[in-house]
Structure 1
Amino acid sequence: MHKLVAVISLVSVLFSMAPAKAGPTEDAAAVRAQWEQVYNSGDADKFSALYTKDSLLFGSTAQLFVGTEGARTYFTKLPPGIKAKMGDQQAIAVGPNVLLSSGFADFTLKDGTVLPFRLTFAMVKVDGQWLIAQHHGSPMPK
């Protein structure tokens, strides 16, 4: 009988526990991993779907690209065959639906040249999905 009570007690404790939630670092890392995967796929539509409809994107060119169409345009202007690899990053939550993430990424050109960059994303949660609202990339200083 004591074993049955112990099992029932354990089961009720387990069911009463709230599920673990990811923190800002984990959420930002997931967005960055998805961004890397989509970037490397070469699919401009999937790339632009990672951005909000009014996003701002400063990438590796001088032009500011706005919105999902701007993200698509930016992506299609890149030389083909570039691959991205995300590096270390830090993230903070500035609200329940806003994350800021700054970190590093290496971009490898078709000829094997590696371009180290700094990337900063501001992410917002829209309908339960994290999207990039602001993206800034700049080459690492020498």
Structure 2
Amino acid sequence: MPPRWALSFAASAWLCLLPGAAEAGPKEDAYAALQTWEAAFNSSDINVLAPIYLPDATVQGIISSTLIVGEAALREYFMAPLRARAQVRLGDMSAQQLSDEAVVLTGYDEFSATLPDGKSISIPGRYTFVMVRRNGQWKIAHQHSSSRFRPQ
């Protein structure tokens, strides 16, 4: 029979292979916060969405020609899509860890909504989120969204 320490080591190694057994790092934590943002946006509730951003966050949005700075401007910017119950679906994503406290997430998304005339629209886009950890929570410091060409 193998020594007890060998069995313990083998069991520990095996457990590390299980999904979720490894400790998440900054990239995974920042991405989890982005998934929270997706769910908050899809809830159409600005009081759920706004706290995910830093109070002085900046947004270069897909439906604005100006830079959105701060919570009041952010609330105003999101008013129309949330009122229209727009939805977003995140797609392919890449993460770059800048430090233990900062991660840049880039990827593709698709926004969809039904216009007041009943017409459905879909806007394929791309995004960049700069996520920072403040007081133990991941927040959005900057968001850039733009539409992307849809090949025919």
TM range (shorter): 0.7 to 0.9
- Aligned position for 1:64: 67
The residue type paired with residue 22 of structure 2 is A
> 1:34: which partner in 2?
36
Tell me the CA shift for residue 35 of structure 1: 0.9
Consecutive unaligned residues in structure 1, runs of 5 or more: none
Name 1:48's counterpart in structure 2: 50
Provide the residue aligned with 1:135 in structure 2.
Answer: 143
Displacement of 1:83 in angstroms is 0.7
Q: Which residue of 2 aligns with 1:87?
A: 91
Q: Distance in 2 between matches of 1:101 and 1:10?
A: 38
Letter in 1 for 2:28: E
Write the distance in 1 (CA, Å) between the matches of 2:74 and 2:49: 7
Q: Which amino acid aligns with 2:109?
A: A
Q: Check the 8 A contact 2:87/2:111 in 1, yes or no.
A: yes
Distance 2:92 2:137 in 1: 23
**Paired position in structure 2 for 1:77:** 80
The answer to whether the aligner puts 1:96 opposite 2:100 as a matched pair is yes
More deviation, 120-129/110-119: 110-119
What number of residue pairs does the alignment pair up? 137
Segments of structure 2 that go 5 or more residues without pairing to the other structure are 13-20
Describe the SS at the equivalent of 1:54. Answer: strand
Return the TM-score normalized by structure 2.
0.78
RMSD of aligned Cα (Å): 2.6
CA distance in 2, matches of 1:112, 1:97: 39
Q: Distance in 1 between matches of 2:120 and 2:60?
A: 24
Q: 1:81 and 1:43 mapped to 2: Cα distance? A: 9
Q: Deviations over 1:57-114 (max 9, x none)?
A: 1112112111222221211133512110010100011011000010011001113321
Q: Which one is further off, 67-76 or 80-89?
A: 67-76
Separation (CA, whole Å) in 1 of partners of 2:41 and 2:97: 24
